[in-house]
């Protein structure tokens, strides 16, 4: 029985198992990249939403501080107890 040697120049395609593995790896990488992109977009939307909520709450805090100052004068408030402490000069 004679063994045939395959010359590299004669090979025109990789074997089907190798092709399948390459296609599977490529498919996985495509899905992974897509998932990362979707996560990144989701993150940016959530971040923008939270920053917007923070801005609204900062405005609310400013309005409340102004109302407290108008009612009680220049004071400090213990945030845990609500106790009023005169502002030191």
Q: How far is CA 89 from the centre of its chain?
A: 44
For residue 57, the model assigns a pLDDT of: 98
What SS3 state is found at 3? Answer: coil
- State residue 88's pLDDT score: 64
pLDDT-derived band at 4 (thresholds 50, 70, 90) equals low
Calculate what percentage of the chain has a pLDDT beyond 90.
75
**Cα dihedral sign for 61, 64, 70, 75?**
negative
Q: How sure is the predictor about 3, in pLDDT bands with cuts at 50, 70 and 90?
A: low
Query: How far from 71 is each of 4, 44, 57, 68, CA to CA, in Å?
Result: 100, 41, 21, 5
Of residues 87 and 25, the one with the higher pLDDT is 25
**Would the pLDDT of 87 be above 80?**
no
């Amino acid at each position: 029985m004679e063994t045939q040697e395959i010359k590299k120049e004669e090979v025109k395609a990789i074997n089907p198992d190798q092709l399948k593995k390459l296609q599977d790896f490529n498919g996985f990488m495509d899905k992974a990249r897509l998932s990362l992109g979707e996560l990144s977009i989701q993150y940016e939307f959530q971040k923008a939403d939270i920053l917007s909520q923070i801005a609204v709450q900062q405005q609310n805090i400013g309005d409340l501080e102004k109302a407290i100052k108008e009612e009680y004068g220049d004071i400090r408030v213990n945030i845990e107890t609500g106790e009023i402490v005169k502002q030191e000069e």
